[in-house]
Amino acid sequence: MSTMSAALLVLADGRFPAGGHAHSGGAEAAVKAGRVTDGASLEAFCRGRLHTAGLTAAGLAAATAAGIDPLAVDAAADARTPSPALRAAARRLGRQLMRAARAAWPSPELDALAAALPRGAHQPVVLGLVARAAGLGPLAVAHAAAYEAVSGPATAVVRLLSLDPFEATAVLARLAPELDAVASAAADAAGAALVEGLDALPAPAAPLLDITAEQHAAWPVRLFAT
Amino acid sequence: MTPPVALVTALAPDPAGVVAAARIVAAPDGRGGTALPVLEGGGPFALRRVGGRGAEARVALVGAMSAPLGGDRLTLDARVEAGAALAFSTTAATIALPGRTGAPATYDTRIDVADGAALRWLPEPLISAHGSDVRTTTRVALGAGARLLLREEQVLGRAGEPPGRLRSRLTIHHAGRPLFDQELNYGPGAPGWDGGAVLGGHRAVGQLVVVHPAFEERPMAARPLGATAAVTPLAGPAVVVSAVARDALELRKVLDSWASELNDVIRAF
Amino acid sequence: MHLDHPDTYPHRHTYTAATPTRPDGTRRALRIGLGGPVGSGKTATVAALCRALRDQLSIAVVTNDIYTREDAEFLLRNAVLAPERITAVETGACPHTAIRDDISANLEAVEDLEDSVGPLDLVLVESGGDNLTATFSKGLVDAQIFVIDVAGGDDIPRKGGPGLTTADLLVVNKTDLAPYVGVDLEGMARDAKAQRGELPVAFTSLATEGGVAPVRDWVLERLAAWAAA
């Protein structure tokens, strides 16, 4: 299956209407805690997120794209998401992606998952099935998942700190080689999971993202859903 | 605190290194208590049965002061059979130290808790000393009605030194389904580990996992605990307390207070 | 990939407001969006509409706050509807994105309300206060109301902007303040007519008893047309 496809550009476009714009990926909590204050700390934040939550999501998406049962991958996603606030957000985003994707790339596999989990599957699982519907392979969808893991926080920090948007984009550009590496690792792990089972998928975690997600969910006033 | 046990990460010229294994099997003793039909240590491991309480047998891992050398691969296996109750602890922190070749040390723990069995797994922290490289895996298989209290603590560097490399994966399956799967990856070579998403300058990190069948019917609500810890129910009959802290003492304080609070919750079931 | 099985697509869903029926085949609620600048009285209009119509219609509200939940909490405090009929959507500091460019969260909210408290006759989707260019996607709402107020200046209708010129109903609120802020209501009406042609304009004073009546009547007309369609 081809990696280079314009369908990937459509899917990974920040304007793809699947709800991502309302999520900061933990950046809003990190800004409030003073852990993200400028371009350098944004880069450190995004690098950590990419190699933890980003790699985990990319592995789940790639495994689904590789043809592993989406319900089994969804259970693996639950086990990798200890925060109930983040599980709820992942399922909500999964439902929103499902809606947009069924209009963009209608597919019986998407219909079947929507019927099996009407309250939403984890977003990376839906993303993996969307990739199949769009003719994209595990490596391509791993790129999309890894990119989402950092593009969301970068955009959010532009809004939260009035950070120079050129600086935020430069952060993403500097992370590009690491995005490639994370996507490759995720696709390789998906290949291993086909043989060895889902424990072969990566499960790297970021303690502060998990801990602060629960605090953020309890804020009475916030700009972002996560 | 008792002096830590050294776990030298790398290794003498012998490329095969030393393989050290320890094994524990806990089973009902037929009189309402728990027997330990298997209690085998080796290499740096010395296992001792210590005073139990009630039906529970207690085992302490006493680190032998001769540290593991060479490309050591340490494995620890524990099985708790139906009707048995086991508590496991270590007498001192485990400290990962650099070796001569720079090869990583591995430390793999396999735990099996049958339906109707109970395990409290409460080792002292793993300290990642500057220059060390250690990879740990802990795989836990729980039967449907198994009960588990598991504490895991990592301390990045001894006082005043930068940490070594530490990779640690904890995988828990409950009734054959994944319940919790988490890899922590810190220190030099782990990109972004000290940024605002992962540790943000904290040097001690830990968690308490509590699995109890009653959580199925009566799940706990998620609760943030200050800025650096949270209690979160998993998508299964379990709760995790996650915390980051400046140091090991501060971390233990948070986890201990929650261990006793969760104990009260479980007693009330 | 699956093109060899065209019969697996019995019905091509669009998943947007364009579909007048719910998945179970029943007719869904009429969806009306309310947009307009900050402070013009959108939330007050929603509250007044709910009070005026709740005894004859089954209503729910979705708010899109800039800071999440402010507007939803105003409506809850004022008890205009039962709490389960009010939902807030987080907008990531971009309220116009959530009602126009990426409507997925709002569609989820609307459908969740229909599932949980339905059947509904009317869903009001309130935008966070935004600028004069904000409009609702046709994929989200069937009709939209743009709310401005006289205190914002009588030159707003002349300035136009997509929200003001294309909304199905323009509401000019706080007419009771006109004498105090030196605003010429007739001039505003003329400017609005120039911008909007035959599209209706309602002048309201929500501070007055029954002040929302012109908006209520317009909503009831739309509802009758929706039911007949």
Domain ranges of chain C: 29-228
Please check the confidence at residue C189 and state whether its pLDDT lies above 80. yes
Say what the pLDDT of residue C153 is: 79
Cα–Cα dist A6/B44, whole Å = 57
Cα–Cα dist A108/A120, whole Å = 16
Q: Given phi > 0 = left and psi -120 to 50 = alpha, else beta, which region is C15?
A: left
Contact B165, B224 (CB under 8 A): no
Please check the confidence at residue A183 and state whether its pLDDT lies above 90. yes
Say what the pLDDT of residue B70 is: 39
How close A110 gets to chain B, by Cα (Å)? 23
Half-sphere exposure of B260 (CA within 13 A, CB side): 5
Say what the pLDDT of residue C22 is: 77
Q: Is A203 on the interface with B (CB under 8 A)?
A: yes
How close C100 gets to chain A, by Cα (Å)? 10
Q: Is B182 on the interface with A (CB under 8 A)?
A: yes
Statement: the pTM of the whole predicted model exceeds 0.95: no
- What are the residue ranges in chain B where pLDDT is below 70? 1-18, 64-71
Q: Is C108 on the interface with A (CB under 8 A)?
A: yes
Cα–Cα dist B90/B105, whole Å = 19
Please check the confidence at residue A3 and state whether its pLDDT lies above 90. no
CA distances A36 to A49, A167, B90, B197, C135, Å, are: 13, 14, 38, 9, 34
Say what the pLDDT of residue C1 is: 37
Say what the pLDDT of residue C18 is: 65
How close B161 gets to chain A, by Cα (Å)? 21
3-state secondary structure of A17: coil
Nearest to A215 among B172, B224, B243 (CB): B224
pLDDT digits (tens, 9 = 90+) for B65-98: 334 443 678 899 999 999 999 999 999 888 888 8
In this structure, the number of other CB atoms found within 10 A of the CB of residue A178 comes to: 18
Say what the pLDDT of residue A164 is: 95
Q: What is the mean pLDDT of chain C?
A: 85
CA distances B131 to B97, B195, B203, B246, C42, Å, are: 7, 20, 16, 20, 62
Asked whether C and A share 3 or more beta-carbon pairs under 8 angstroms, the answer is yes
Q: Is B15 on the interface with A (CB under 8 A)?
A: no
- Say if the Cβ atoms of B234 and A79 lie within 8 Å: yes
Q: Is the peptide bond before C119 cis (omega within 30 degrees of 0)?
A: yes
- Say if the Cβ atoms of A19 and C2 lie within 8 Å: no
Cα–Cα dist B139/B148, whole Å = 13
Q: Which two tokens stand for residue A78?
A: 């639950």
Contact B155, B125 (CB under 8 A): yes
CA distances C89 to A32, A85, C44, C60, C92, Å, are: 21, 15, 18, 13, 10
- Say if the Cβ atoms of B195 and A47 lie within 8 Å: yes
Nearest to C15 among A21, A102, A156 (CB): A102
Q: What is the mean pLDDT of chain A?
A: 95
Closest listed residue to residue B68, CA positions, set B142, B143, B11, B133: B11
Cα–Cα dist A90/A97, whole Å = 10
Q: What is the mean pLDDT of residues C160-165?
A: 86
Say what the pLDDT of residue C13 is: 41
Farthest CA pair distance, chain C: 70
Please check the confidence at residue C76 and state whether its pLDDT lies above 90. no
Residues of A within 8 A of C89 (CB-CB) are 22
Say what the pLDDT of residue C20 is: 79
Own/partner pairs, A200-203, CB within 8 angstroms, 24+ separation: A201/A56, A201/A59, A201/A60, A201/A63, A201/A76, A202/A55, A202/A56, A202/A59, A202/B183, A203/A56, A203/A79, A203/A80, A203/B169, A203/B171, A203/B181, A203/B182, A203/B183
Say what the pLDDT of residue C227 is: 86
C29-228 CATH pick, 3.40.640.10, 1.10.3720.10, 3.40.50.300, 3.40.50.620: 3.40.50.300
Say what the pLDDT of residue B6 is: 58
pLDDT digits (tens, 9 = 90+) for A159-179: 999 999 999 999 999 999 999
pLDDT digits (tens, 9 = 90+) for A8-30: 999 999 899 999 999 999 999 99
Q: Is A139 on the interface with B (CB under 8 A)?
A: no
DSSP secondary structure letter of residue B17: -
DSSP secondary structure letter of residue C141: -
Say what the pLDDT of residue B232 is: 96
Q: Count interface pairs A-C at CB distance under 8 A.
A: 87
Cα–Cα dist B121/B173, whole Å = 16
Angle between helices A138-161 and A55-65 (to 10 degrees): 150
Asked whether C and B share 3 or more beta-carbon pairs under 8 angstroms, the answer is no
Q: Is B181 on the interface with A (CB under 8 A)?
A: yes
Contact A149, A14 (CB under 8 A): no
Say what the pLDDT of residue B77 is: 96
3-state secondary structure of A79: helix
pLDDT digits (tens, 9 = 90+) for A97-106: 999 999 999 9
DSSP secondary structure letter of residue C21: B
Say what the pLDDT of residue C6 is: 38
Q: Roughly how many angstroms between the first and final C-alpha of chain C, as a whole number?
A: 38
Say what the pLDDT of residue B13 is: 38
User: Which of B167, B179, B182, B202 would best serve as a mutation to test chain A binding (most A beta carbons within 10 A)?
Assistant: B182
- Range with top average pLDDT, A108-117, B127-136, C6-15: A108-117
Q: What is the ipTM of this complex?
A: 0.95
